[in-house]
């Protein structure tokens, strides 16, 4: 039996040996690596999403999340309770990047709240503050 070197082992798991970060060429899970790459959120995008998520958890609005990485799109689902359907889904679909924008926020019923090219501007729809209106 051939022995796997440390570098090959990291490469097989989808990690860059030098930085120990996920490499950009991660094959589809359980599939043929020739089928295509998995779409994922980069570090800055994930930071924006998790900052919003952390604020909402601290306010008691959200409790759980799920991250789905697929060949067509990446989805960050937000739950009020684990056993329920997601309240919101933040999706990244690179096929729509040149048309309507790669990022979108979708409600539980499938309504698209906002779509655009910049993630920060798209997820602002979930972090709106109430304004006091005098009348």
Domain boundaries, the chain: 6-35, 43-126
Tell me the average pLDDT of the chain: 78
Tell me the C-alpha distance between 127 and 73, whole Å: 23
Rg over alpha carbons for the chain, rounded to the nearest Å, is 18
> Of 1-5, 111-115, 126-130, which gets the smallest average pLDDT?
1-5
| Model pLDDT, residue 84 | 78
Tell me the C-alpha distance between 134 and 27, whole Å: 56
Tell me the C-alpha distance between 98 and 106, whole Å: 19
Query: Residue 112: is its pLDDT beyond 70?
Result: yes
Residue 130: pLDDT band (50, 70, 90) is low
N- to C-terminal Cα separation, the chain = 80
Helices (H) and strands (E) in the chain, counts: 3, 5
| Model pLDDT, residue 8 | 47
Q: Residue 78's closest CA among 68, 90, 91, 93?
A: 90
Residues in the chain: 135
* Structural contact between residues 49 and 56, judged by C-beta atoms closer than 8 angstroms: no
| Model pLDDT, residue 36 | 65
**SS3 for 27?**
strand
Tokens of 13: 């798991």
- pLDDT tens, residue by residue, 49-99: 999 999 999 998 999 999 999 999 999 999 988 777 899 999 999 998 899
């Amino acid at each position: 039996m051939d022995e796997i070197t440390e570098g090959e082992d990291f490469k097989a798991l989808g990690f860059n040996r030098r930085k120990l970060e996920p490499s950009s060429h991660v094959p589809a899970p359980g599939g043929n690596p020739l089928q295509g790459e998995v779409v994922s959120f980069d570090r800055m995008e994930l930071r924006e999403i998790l900052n919003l998520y952390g604020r909402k958890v601290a306010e008691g609005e959200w409790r759980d999340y799920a991250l789905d990485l697929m060949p067509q799109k990446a989805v960050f689902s937000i739950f009020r309770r684990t056993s329920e359907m997601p309240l919101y889904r933040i999706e990244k679909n690179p096929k729509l990047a040149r048309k309507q924008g790669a990022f979108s926020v979708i409600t539980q019923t499938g309504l698209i709240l906002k779509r655009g090219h910049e993630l920060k501007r798209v997820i602002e729809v979930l972090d709106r503050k109430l304004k006091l209106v005098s009348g």
